[in-house]
Structure formats: C-alpha cells, structure tokens
A and B are shown apart, each in its own frame.
Chain A
Amino acid sequence: MNGVLRFLRSPRLALGVIGFLAVWTGVGAWAPWMQPQGPAAPAWAVATGLSHPFTSLPFLAGIALLFAATLACTWGKRARVVAIRRGEMPGSAVRLLPRKADLDAFLSSEGFRGNGVIRTRFAFALWGGWVFHVGLLVLIAAALVQFSLHDSGTFDLSVSERASLAAHGTVFGRERGPLAREALPDVEVALARFDPFLHQHGYSQDRLSELDVFVPGQPVRTETMDRAAGIRAGDIEIFQAIPTGLSLTIDVQGLGLRAVKLQPESARRASAEVTTPSGTRVRFIVDAQNEIDRPGGEGRMLVWIEGPDGRSLVAPGAPFPFGTGTARMTAVSRWGRFTYTHTPGFALVVGGLVVVLLGSLLLSFPAGVVRVENGGGNRSAVLFVTRGGSAIAADWERVGSPTSRE
C-alpha cells in the first residue's frame, strides 16, 4: 500500500501524466481528421484511440491516473500546512544565521507580520496548493458526472411550425452520456418568427427567433432568442444554431399543414424529397432569382414539384396533384436550426472551476512562515516561503551574515 502511495505521489509520475495529457490533447485536437471536413483517421490512429482522442482509453486512463496522483498528493497535505503554520518547518526551509543586523526589521521589510516566535506573510496563501489540488479533484469528478448525464440534440423548425421534441423524427444528432435519461424532453416549441439576417445594432447580421414554448404544467411562454444566449424550457435549454434554409408550407388534403424544409443544392436552388400519403416520392425544388442566403432577399422564386409524371410549376394557393390526392402551397418561408441541452452536474463543474481558480489565486501570493530562535543570545530564524527563499537568504547574506540550509 505504501509503495502504491509513494508511486502515486512521486513527482516523476505527476510530470509524466501531465506531460502525456498535454501531448495527447495537443495531437488529438490538431490532427487533420479532427478538423471540419478533414480526412478519415488512418489505421494507426484508430488503433491508438487518436481517432476519437477525448473519449479514448489512453486519455481516460491518463485522467484517472491524474486523479489518483492528485488525490495522493493532496492526502496529508492539510496536516503539512497546519504543521508549517505552527512553525514545524520542512526540509526545504532556509536558516538565517545570527548576525549584527536587526532581524526584526529585516523580516518586517520582507513582509512578515507579528513580533512573536512565529511570524507569517500571507499565511492564508499557504493553503493555495491544497485548495488548487482539491479543486482539480472536484473538477475531474464533476466533468465525469456531467459527461455521464448530459443530453443534447438538434431540431429544425419552420416559421409557424409547432413540434414536440419527444415526437419521432423531430430530434436528430442526439448525443447523451451513458447515464443520461433515454426519453426525449417533454417540451413542445413553435417558431412564431424567424429572421435569419437581423442586424442588431453593433453586431453583424445573425439569426433571431421568437419561440413559443410549451412545457407541461407551465403557462405558454414566448421567448425571443439569438445566438448570444439560450432560453430555458423546463429542465432543458434551447439554443439558436446557424444553419437555415427555405421552407414550404403545404396544406395536404386530409392531413393539414406540413412544413417541407429544403436543403441547398446550389447558391440559387434548394430542394427536398418527401413521401406523399400514398407512398410515392416527390421532390420540391425552388429556384431563386438571387442567392438563397443573400441577406437582401432571394428575389423572385419559382417552386416546382417533380414526381414520377415529370416536373410542374407550383403556384401559391393553387391545388396540385400530391400522390393520389391534392395539396396547396400556402407559404414560402424559412426554417431555422436549434439545439437543446440538458446538463445536470454543470453546477458541480462550475464549483470545481471556482475552487481551481481560488487555489490559483492563493498560489499567486508569496506566502511564508518564519520561526525566530534565540540561542545563547544570538537571534536566528528558520524560514519557509512558497517561493523566493533563496532571494531572501541572499538579501540577509548581503548584509554580512552567512546562511545555510536547515
């Protein structure tokens, strides 16, 4: 047991693990196959786990080892800090040997307060290392919890369309942790208004949506949202995403209104394939006068339907054959993309981050403890500082007294 503890506490292990994580993270993030539209990962990357670097076994093992090493280093550190605060100096302490100069004045000029045997400088900051390491432990544990429970997904909505996230086919690209709930969020949303190219003062053109949010047991809320921040809907948050495109609203005989979301084929053409109630596949095509994503507008548009019997123009409001029945196009609008996230455990992550930062802040203070000794009328001191011990010893030496390690 002691051997394991010694191994986990060894500085070489700490440096090795930290170094490994730095290299792995750097290589993983910069690898060509990790870039958008990058090539497929080569076989060696698949074999080593670098094809999915941040969920791979080596990375997770490194994190686990970092956690264990940090825990081992932190264990017992509290008692060491308390002992130093009492004046029980570690081996790295520096002895200021007796000399004729005024020791009290010297210590005071170095920032040590008090006039007793034990004097301190930023004593609270002696806890910096301990707090920092505890923060790291909390952060690693919190990130693991959050990763295990997180749930996110994507959905598209056309203007005037109302959709239930729990309904089949609404959400795609879902990602959830191994312990996340299986059920989709019980939330309905309707896109009341959508401007893909709104110019808010001081900011470049971007999306803005007005969403009606329906959460069981809560009154309906209307929320305006851009990409700067999400909105809360029950226990999830909804965010505006960038993708957008043209959308056709079709009134299908006997079925009511349907939104057909078109994907770009070229700068001026978008299309979508749909299945009619009778099971045949047809394709809607929109040809625009201008670029479809031109902020100034698409200009005049022609809408076509293409099926087994060929292609025909669709006029607004006029019925057209749709499978064995008919349908009417009531509007040409746009669809916007949204994401939802459910992030239980995030508060714990924030807590871990705060403690890590608090530890870093404490570390930035040059804390120290000095024990003044009177031996045979000569006054000397034993000094422990978190940094700069040799500089203080050199200063003391400069006024004429030798120094030595305790």
Chain B
Amino acid sequence: MQSILFWSAVSLYALATVAWFAWAATGKASASTAGRALLAFGLVPHAASLAMRWVEVGHGPYNTRYEVISADTFILVAVWLAATLFARGIAGLGVFVAPAAFLLMGWSVSTFDLKREVPIIFKSWWLFLHIGFAKLFFASILLAAACAAAWLVKDRRPQALRKLPSAEKLDLYAHQFTIISFLFLGVMIVAGALWAHQSWGRYWGWDPIETSALVTWIVFGLVLHFRVLHRWTGKRMAWLTFVALGFAVVTLFVVAIMVPTVHNSYMVGG
C-alpha cells in the first residue's frame, strides 16, 4: 500500500511536470491550473506514504535517503503552494517545482526498501526543530533559485514565461526567499547546537556538516551583503543565488554522503 501511494505521488508529479512544460510552451492558463492542481493532489498520497512509513518504522522521515528526500520533496511542494497564497505571481514557479519534485522522488526511490532504527541521540525534541528547519531551508533556497532561474530566462527571452511576474518582482522574490532560507538555516544550526549541548555537553564540535552549515550561513550572509550594501540585483544576484543553492546542497546532502560525520545516518543508502 505504501508503495502504491508513493508511486501515485510520483505519477501525479510527473503529470504535473508535463502540464507545466505545456504551459511554458503554449502559455495556456488551463495548463498551469492543471499543473498546480496535480502537484496539490500529489501531496495527498505523498503525505499518506510518509505517514505509513512513520508508523511502520516508529520515527519520522529523517533516517535513510528515501525518508529524507521524500519528505524534503513534500515540504518543497507544500511550501511552494503555501507561498502562492501570499504571492500569486510565483504560481508560475511550478514549472521549476514540478520537475524538481519528480527528480527528487526518483532519487529517493532507490532506497525505498531500506529501513533502519534511529540512533539513541534522536531521543530529543530538538530533533524536530533541527530537521524541520533543515527541510524548510532546502525548500526555500530551491524556490529562491527557481526565481533566479526564471529571472535569467526572462532576461534572455523576455517573451518566455509570460505569466510569471516582472523581472523586478522575480528579483524581489528571490531576495525574499533567500532571506527566509537564511533564517531557516540559522534556526537549523542553533537547534542543532542546542541538541549537541544536550547530548554531548558542547554546542559546537567542528563536525564536517556543522562546519559546512556554518560556511553556508556565512556565504548567505555574503550574498545578502552584496544585495544590501552593494545593491547587486539582476543577473549577478541570480548567479549568486545559484552559488548559495550549491552551498546548501553540499551541506545538506554531499557532505553526509562523502565525509565521515555524526550526520551520516540521515543519508544512509546515499
């Protein structure tokens, strides 16, 4: 049943991708409406599959690559849908969100059958803040990068993605999502530090992921300083947003897969 629900979500995300690409090619509003609805409907079986896994293994989606990436994808789609309620203009970002969701689900599925118990240090309430904000951080920086990508597309071909907001608005949304991801990253780091203090008596240990998260936070600080102090906007900021996304991906996934760290368990199967 869990598998059927998971594949239902994957199928809906795949259909949403087709609909959004059709919208990008034709500009028909019906295609974007269908794409948005398919992504929203996809969340239902996706949530059910995650809940069933939670019940089965007795812990949340934060141990093994399948659980982590699948939950990250769910949060990405949910955050994008929620954001469109506040800024309708970014509904068109579905053209980036749908394929990203589909690809991420594809990455997660190869470890679908892997089930592991969590380490004893996961017996902490800080876990939910630390991991929850890590997922929100990933979703928000992906959306910032989607805004930056849309800006670049519009810059090169002004007639492309006509239904997306103006270049100024896209630049503003990219800035807004970057600042929000800076906040979420900060909460993730602080919650992790307090969790470490609870478990080991020290809030900082220069663990590779800890350090990578700090470097990423500093890089985000740099990016925001370029915006605020040097008033960088447009193309330069779009590329800097991709740099920030690169650091985020390295911190959240690459280090856990490639470097021995206390965080290895969450990407088991990586």
Instruction: Please tell me which one of the listed residues B194, B202, B212, B221 contacts residue A152 in the complex, with CB atoms under 8 A apart.
Output: B202
Q: Chain B interface: which of A162-170, A225-233, A368-376?
A: A225-233
Q: Smallest CB-CB separation from B210: which chain A residue?
A: A29
| Interfacial chain A residues near B193, Cβ < 8 Å | 353
CA gap between A349 and B203 in the complex, in Å:
9
Whether B260 contacts A364 by the Cβ 8 Å rule is: no
Q: Is B211 an interface residue (CB 8 A)?
A: yes
Shortest A6–chain B CB gap in Å is 14
Interface string of A21-56 (1 = CB under 8 A from B): 110011011100011100000000000000000100
Q: Is A237 an interface residue (CB 8 A)?
A: yes
Q: How large is the interface on A (under 10, 10 to 19, 20 to 34, 35 or more residues)?
A: 35 or more
Q: Is A57 an interface residue (CB 8 A)?
A: no
Whether A394 contacts B208 by the Cβ 8 Å rule is: no
CA gap between A360 and B203 in the complex, in Å:
20
| Interfacial chain B residues near A36, Cβ < 8 Å | 260
Whether B203 contacts A229 by the Cβ 8 Å rule is: no
Interface string of A49-69 (1 = CB under 8 A from B): 000001000000000000000
Interface string of B115-149 (1 = CB under 8 A from A): 01111111110000000000000000000000000
Interface string of A214-229 (1 = CB under 8 A from B): 0000000000001111
| Interfacial chain A residues near B123, Cβ < 8 Å | 200, 203, 226, 228-229
CA gap between A339 and B194 in the complex, in Å:
17
| Interfacial chain B residues near A227, Cβ < 8 Å | 119-121, 199
Whether B218 contacts A25 by the Cβ 8 Å rule is: yes
Shortest A212–chain B CB gap in Å is 20
| Interfacial chain B residues near A363, Cβ < 8 Å | 179, 182-183
Whether A202 contacts B59 by the Cβ 8 Å rule is: yes
CA gap between A152 and B204 in the complex, in Å:
13
Q: How large is the interface on B (under 10, 10 to 19, 20 to 34, 35 or more residues)?
A: 35 or more
Q: Smallest CB-CB separation from A385: which chain B residue?
A: B172
Q: Is A350 an interface residue (CB 8 A)?
A: yes
Find residues 172-193 in chain B having any chain A CB closer than 8 Å to their own CB: 172, 175-176, 179-180, 182-183, 186-187, 190, 193
CA gap between A207 and B171 in the complex, in Å:
52
Q: Is B198 an interface residue (CB 8 A)?
A: yes
Whether B183 contacts A357 by the Cβ 8 Å rule is: yes
Whether A357 contacts B187 by the Cβ 8 Å rule is: yes
Given contacts A357-B183, A388-B172, contact A394 B166 (CB under 8 A): yes
| Interfacial chain A residues near B221, Cβ < 8 Å | 18
Q: Is B58 an interface residue (CB 8 A)?
A: yes
| Interfacial chain B residues near A14, Cβ < 8 Å | 225, 229
Shortest A368–chain B CB gap in Å is 12
CA gap between A235 and B228 in the complex, in Å:
45
Whether A394 contacts B215 by the Cβ 8 Å rule is: no
Whether A387 contacts B227 by the Cβ 8 Å rule is: yes
Q: Is B160 an interface residue (CB 8 A)?
A: no
Q: Is A15 an interface residue (CB 8 A)?
A: yes
CA gap between A90 and B25 in the complex, in Å:
44
Whether B260 contacts A152 by the Cβ 8 Å rule is: no
Whether A390 contacts B120 by the Cβ 8 Å rule is: no
Q: Smallest CB-CB separation from A206: which chain B residue?
A: B120
Given contacts A18-B222, A22-B215, contact A387 B175 (CB under 8 A): yes
Q: B residues within 8 Å of A by Cβ?
A: 58-59, 116-124, 166, 168-169, 171-172, 175-176, 179-180, 182-183, 186-187, 190, 193-194, 197-203, 206, 208, 211-212, 214-215, 218-219, 221-222, 225-231, 233, 259-260
Q: A residues within 8 Å of B by Cβ?
A: 11, 14-15, 18-19, 21-22, 25-26, 28-30, 34-36, 54, 92, 129, 152, 200-204, 206-207, 226-230, 237, 239, 339-341, 343, 346, 349-350, 353-354, 356-357, 360-361, 363-364, 366, 387-388, 390-391, 394
Q: List 8 A-B contacts (CB under 8 A).
A: A30-B211, A35-B260, A204-B118, A228-B120, A230-B200, A353-B190, A363-B182, A390-B233
Other than the known A30-B259, A34-B206, what 4 A-B pairs have Cβ atoms closer than 8 Å? A11-B225, A26-B211, A29-B206, A388-B175
